Amino acid sequence: MWDVLAVTLSFALLALTLFLFKKASYCAWLASHPGYDDATWADRAILYLVGALSALAIAVVPLIRLALRSARRRRRRDHGLCENCAYDLRMLASPRCPECGATIEAKPGKEDANGPL
């Protein structure tokens, strides 16, 4: 559930980033045209740009954490370890981790896929 919330928040912040970049480019365009107060529009463009970069930085952090956690779990599963606590599960007969109590999903191993060794 928290992963879905983090991804949703990240995409909302990315949309805000795009909006702020668009506003910054519009203010910079206005600042370059005669008849407008250059300092006011240039200041607004800088503020919008800073806001956009801040929102982008905040949006990327949950996505990076999610990717790293997924890679760690995949690496542990591939090496025969518990995904939660990294307990060695290779010689275990029960479908639960004795260390943390997590349920272990049965995946076909060499004995199941090709018959006995």
Q: What is the per-residue pLDDT for 37? A: 67
Mean pLDDT of 16-38: 81
Q: What is the per-residue pLDDT for 22? A: 87
pTM of the model: 0.55
Mean pLDDT of 33-56: 81
Residue that wins the pLDDT comparison between 114 and 47: 47
Which residue from 56, 2, 1 is spatially nearest to 24, judged by alpha carbons? 56
Residue that wins the pLDDT comparison between 9 and 50: 50
Residues 77-96: b if buried by 16+ CB within 10 A, e if exposed: eeeebbbeeebebeeeeeee
